[in-house]
Amino acid sequence: MGQLLAVHNEKLDKQDRIDAVLFEKVDSVHREVTRKTDEIKKGCERDIRKVDDRLRTMEKKMWSIFGGLAIISFLVSPVGQRIIKPMLTNGQASARVVTITNPFVELSRYKVS
């Protein structure tokens, strides 16, 4: 009976050593998976920040273009023309078209040498 208990104890000790090795391997794999997961997470966060920055830049450009188009369309519109025209001209006609009734009479006043 003593030999049977000794063999049984030896088997239990051996199983405990095997369990310890297996638990160490599981812990090692867990640490490695955790480390890789953290690296992937940091990479994803970095990529998301880059995409976010790029979208913000595109939105700024889009709104700037939209604002410019709104201003141009206002200036071209009839309402805008009524507002801008007085600012660009002084209200007096600067050039006048005169119709000559008889061009030969007008030219006869001048001598050609």
In the chain, what are the domain boundaries?
2-108
CB 75 within 8 A of CB 84: yes
Containing 40, the helix (H) or strand (E) segment is helix 2-76
Burial of residue 82 (CB within 10 Å: 0-12, 13-18, 19+) is exposed
Residue 93's pLDDT is: 57
Comparing 54-58, 60-64, 107-111, the range with the smallest average pLDDT is: 107-111
In the predicted model, what is the mean pLDDT of residues 61-75?
96
Q: Does the pLDDT at position 34 exceed 90?
A: yes
Residues 43-64 have a mean pLDDT of: 97
Helical segments of 77-102, H only: 78-88
C-alpha pair distances (Å), 99 with each of 32, 70, 102, 106, 110 = 96, 42, 9, 11, 18
Give φ, ψ of 100 to 5 degrees.
-95, 125
**What is the predicted pLDDT for the residue at 83?**
86
**Global pTM?**
0.51
Give percent of the chain with pLDDT exceeding 90. 60
- pLDDT on residue 98: 66
Looking at the predicted structure, is the pLDDT value of residue 33 above 80? yes
